[in-house]
A and B are shown apart, each in its own frame.
Chain A
Amino acid sequence: MQVPGEEIITYPADLSEAFPGLKLAEIAGLIQKGDSTFILESYNHRILAIKDGKIVHQIGGIGQGKGEFYYPRDFAIDNKINFYVFDFVGRGINRVQCLDPGGKYLAGFNAESRAWGFAVDSSYHVLLGTPTLKVVVTEYDTLGKRLAGFGKLVLPSEIYGDKYESSDKYYTIPMNRVNIAVDKDDNVWLSFLFMPLVLKYDKKGNLLFKKVIDLPGLEPVKKALWKPGSKEAKDYLSMNLDGIQMPVIIKDIIYNESQSTFYLLLGNDTILVMSPTGEYRYLIKPLFAGGTIEKFFLLGTGEIIVRFFYHPECYRLKVRYPDKNKKLEEK
């Protein structure tokens, strides 16, 4: 646990191939349930079930029909192994589908166009990031009925300072794009793609806390965000969701149920581990020569898998944690 005033501990991590022998096409999601690993293969428009390193089952396949996927970008699995898939059907149309374990269509709806950020809670309600609807998150049932909307849009000047007040009008919607994670109590965690900000809401939509990530390593990324098209901006993963290309400050958020911790994949390619009350635990720094990490996933063992931008392969991180036993011996 970080002590206030102390520099945050950083552990380096080595990389090794995550799925040797398997050729996977752009993994957009990975969830372990029991002894099976379910992989959302975006470029092959399908979900794979993998056991002992082999593909044992698949659902989906390319298409716009029910039970088919087109560039699926996220998914969730409930306790009955029903799948919830968020994909991109056509111009301005995102879709949510609920499928049974065999891939048979159960329910679904066309989501608000340009929705970004997806999660499913324990009541099988779908949470989507919807700043264009004037709220950060909207909650739906599986038929698409809107149940609630919460999260007041955050003005960029509230995070970046008053000198950016003139940017509030055009940047508010783009900067309220979030990734969503739900913890075991159905609390909703939001990490903002273009602001160093994490918010936590309870299941009724009440704000529980707000955390501005103030790590020194993020400063260059934040500066680059306000210099679009610059050489500095090109060093980082950028996205354009609302007509403005910007480096991503927080790329993703994952909840580690077994340890009740949160992992944030930051724009400077480090992984921040946080407690449920927002304290920094430590940083993980993957050691690699080139490229930028686009996504990360968590196995049930707590192992982290990363995928690089424009690279189909995934890599396991072997974190060089200090040897506790050795420290005790030295004492």
Chain B
Amino acid sequence: MKVLEVVSKKIKSIKMIYCYIFYIFLILIISMTVILSLSKNKITYKNGDIIGQLVFKNFHGEKVSLIRGKYNFVIYLKSLEKGFSLAKYIDKLLQRFGSSGLNIVLITPFDRDGTQNPDMNIDFKYPVLPVEENRAALKAFFDLDQTEQCLLIINPGLVLDAVFYFFREEDVRQLCEKYLLGDIAYQEQDSTGKLKVGDSFPVIDLEDLTPGTSMPVTQTSGLNPHLWFVFNSNCVTCVLHNQLVKFKELEDEIGKTPVVPLGLMFSSYFFKSEVQENINYYSIKTRAFLAVGELTGIEDSYFKASAESGGLVILTSVSNQILYLAPFLDFIGDFKGGKIDFKSALR
């Protein structure tokens, strides 16, 4: 009996020991989970830190390193579609500054099969890397879940020089000039060669965004007379969410004025399907076009802060002459005041 008592006591104490071990193990697991989750978005780099051999990966898992001796602009975009204008613009910057010491890497989400949206139809000159392969590297700089865009500037000595969470194309241009030329160009005077009344409207190749159109590519020279609402890409968001709303409010009223067809013209920096989506969303009936190349005389594709970011309205005659040209806001006032002679476009 005594033996039995001793044995049962020993069994109980062993069970207790196992219980204690189990609870300690459980506490350890919970603690590690909490610590890991707290450190999940821990940003470890700040300006002035040596980045060392920061390495990114492309879709195939191959390494893409920063380049010592060059200024490395690492750009993250949460959505390449929304940042399309920027992505296209930095391609231009790389063409201009690549030989002067600029290196660009773009990191953005990819489709599951590793391809980009076929509507992109762009062959960028810089590597475009999937965020999925580079989460660990990026989270040392910023919280990916909270960040729409980020620009890391890493200098030729591989030191982190600056981190920007909000930036426009114009800012990237100024930063390129600052680092690579030592001097920033500002468009301080109204640029010469701007279009004015009496000029011939430039020939611009256009892609017709009307679904199912039989002539997808056309030119402005074949579309006279016309009342054009031209939008450059200085602020894509402003155009798609503000100017198009204003246009819609006017559309029916303008449509009652007889005479010339209306046309919406968007810079080639706009993303086609995003324009189409917004046109459908606002139920805009006016025919819309996407410029294939440059908006000659209207958009300066280098100085992205060119004039009339709110839109330009141009009335062309049968003979392609500009009869009226004004910022969109001014047009609204002129139109409501009956100051535009639309009939002159037919002569």
A contact residues vs B (CB 8 Å cutoff): 21-23, 25, 43-45, 55, 61-64, 70-71, 90-91, 234, 288-291, 308, 310-312
Starting from the known contacts A23-B191, A234-B245, A312-B309, 6 additional A-B residue pairs (CB-CB under 8 Å) come to A61-B174, A63-B178, A290-B328, A308-B329, A311-B329, A312-B307
- Is there an interface contact between B329 and A23, defined as CB atoms closer than 8 Å? no
Which residue in chain A gives the minimum CB-CB distance to B335? A289
Q: Is the CB of A289 within 8 A of B329?
A: yes
Q: How far is the CB of B41 from chain A (nearest CB, A)?
A: 12
Which of B47, B168, B188, B191 is A64 in contact with, Cβ under 8 Å? B47
Least CB distance from A87 to B in Å reads 12
Question: What interface size band does chain B fall in?
Answer: 35 or more
- Given A290-B246, A310-B235, A310-B238, A23-B165 contact (CB < 8 Å): no
- State A45–B162 Cα separation when bound (angstroms): 15
* B170 at interface, CB cutoff 8 A: yes
Residues of the B chain whose Cβ atoms lie less than 8 Å from the Cβ of A290: 246, 328-330, 332-333
Cβ of B36 to closest chain A Cβ, rounded Å:
23
Residues on B with C-beta less than 8 A from A71 are 166
User: Which chain B residues lie closer than 8 Å to A61 at the CB level?
Assistant: 174, 178, 184
- Within 8 Å CB of B327, what residues of A? 311
**Which B residues are in CB contact (< 8 Å) with A288?**
333
Which residue of A23, A45, A234 contacts B190 across the interface (Cβ within 8 Å)?
Answer: A23
- Which of A21, A43, A310 sits near B189, CB closer than 8 Å? A21
Q: Which residues of B contact A64 (CB under 8 A)?
A: 47, 162-164
Per-position 1/0 for B224-248, Cβ under 8 A of A: 0000000000010010001001100
Other-chain contact of B170, A21, A43, A291 (Cβ < 8 Å): A43
Interface presence of B186 (CB below 8 A) = yes
In the complex, which residues of chain B have a beta carbon less than 8 angstroms from the beta carbon of A21? 189-190
Contacts of A63 in B (CB 8 A): 162, 175, 178
Are B187 and A311 in contact (CB-based, < 8 A)?
no
Cβ of B188: which chain A residues have Cβ within 8 Å of it? 22-23, 55
Quick one: given A23-B190, A44-B186, A310-B238, are A291 and B329 in contact (CB under 8 Å)?
yes
Shortest 8 CB-CB contacts between residues of A and residues of B: A289-B333, A290-B332, A290-B329, A62-B174, A64-B162, A91-B165, A291-B329, A289-B332
Which of chain B's residues have a CB closer than 8 A to the CB of A45?
Answer: 171, 174
* Given A290-B329, A308-B329: A23 in contact with B164 (beta carbons within 8 A): no
Would B190 and A310 count as touching, CB distance under 8 A? Answer: no
Can you name 21 A-B pairs with beta carbons within 8 Å? A22-B189, A23-B189, A25-B186, A43-B170, A44-B174, A44-B305, A61-B178, A62-B171, A62-B178, A62-B184, A64-B163, A70-B164, A91-B165, A234-B245, A289-B332, A289-B333, A289-B337, A290-B329, A290-B333, A310-B235, A310-B238
Is B125 interfacial (CB 8 A cutoff)? no
In the complex, whether B336 has a CB less than 8 A from a CB of chain A is yes
A93 smallest CB distance to B (angstroms):
10
Min distance, Cβ B330 to any Cβ of chain A, angstroms: 7
Bound-state Cα–Cα, A70 to B153, Å = 15
With a CB–CB cut-off of 8 A, which chain A residues contact B202?
none
A51 to chain B, nearest CB (A): 14
Interface of B with A (CB < 8 Å)? 47, 142, 162-166, 168, 170-171, 174-175, 178, 184, 186-191, 235, 238, 242, 245-246, 305, 307, 309-310, 327-330, 332-334, 336-337
Whether A289 lies near B235 (C-beta < 8 A) is no
* Cα-based distance from A80 to B96 in the complex (angstroms): 42
**When chains A and B are docked, how far (Å) is the Cα of A25 from the Cα of B184?**
14
Q: Chain A residues with Cβ under 8 A from B47's Cβ?
A: 64
Chain B min CB distance to A257 (Å): 30
Cβ contacts under 8 Å, B337 to chain A = 289
Q: In the bound complex, how far is the Cα of B186 from the Cα of A71, in angstroms?
A: 15
Alpha-carbon gap, A310 to B243, bound state (A)? 10
Distance A61 CA – B187 CA, assembled complex (angstroms): 14
Q: Whose C-beta in chain A lies nearest to the C-beta of B175?
A: A62
CA distance in complex: A234, B333 (Å): 19
Give A90 to B242 CA distance when docked, in angstroms: 26
Asked whether A23 and B187 contact (CB < 8 A) given A64-B162, A310-B235, A311-B329, the answer is yes
Expressed in whole angstroms, the Cα–Cα distance for A91 and B327 within the complex equals: 34
Q: Which residue of A lies closest to B177 (CB)?
A: A62
A90 to chain B: which residues have CB within 8 Å?
Answer: 163-165
Q: What distance in Å separates the Cβ of A64 from its nearest Cβ neighbour in chain B?
A: 5
Docked pose: A25 CA to B174 CA in angstroms: 13
Collect the chain A residues with CB atoms within 8 Å of residue B333's CB: 288-290
Set of chain A residues within 8 Å of B310, measured between Cβ atoms: 291, 310-311
Of all chain A residues, which has the CB nearest B250? Answer: A290
Residue of B nearest to A93 (CB): B165
Nearest opposing residue in chain B for A291, CB measure: B329
Chain B residues whose CB sits within 8 angstroms of the CB of A308 once the complex forms: 329
Question: Which of chain B's residues has its CB closest to A311's CB?
Answer: B310
* Most central of A25, A63, A234, A290 by chain B CB within 10 Å: A290
CB < 8 Å: which of B142, B190, B305 contacts A25? B305
> With A and B bound together, what is the CA distance between A288 and B235 in angstroms?
23
B181 to chain A, nearest CB (A): 12
- CA distance in complex: A288, B190 (Å): 23
Query: Within the assembled complex, what's the spacing in Å between the Cα atoms of A62 and B242?
Result: 28
When C-beta atoms are compared, the residue in chain A nearest to B330 turns out to be A289
Bound together, the chains give a CA A70 to CA B47 distance in angstroms of 15
Q: Once the chains bind, are A23 and B332 in contact (CB under 8 Å)?
A: no
Q: Are B309 and A289 in contact (CB under 8 A)?
A: no
Q: Contacts of B164 on A, CB cut-off 8 Å?
A: 64, 70, 90
Closest Cβ neighbor of B179 among chain A residues: A63
A21, A64, A310: residue with the most chain B Cβ atoms closer than 10 Å? A310
- Min CB distance, B153 to chain A, in Å? 9
Which residues of A lie under 8 Å from residue B187 when comparing CB positions? 23
Return the chain B residue nearest A234 by Cβ: B245
Task: Check A43–B329 contact: CB distance below 8 A.
Answer: no
Expressed in whole angstroms, the Cα–Cα distance for A44 and B174 within the complex equals 9
CB distance from B88 to the nearest CB of A (A): 20
Taken together as a complex, chains A and B put the C-alpha atoms of A310 and B164 apart, in Å, by 22
Given A25-B305, A310-B238, A310-B309; A289-B336 close (CB under 8 Å):
yes
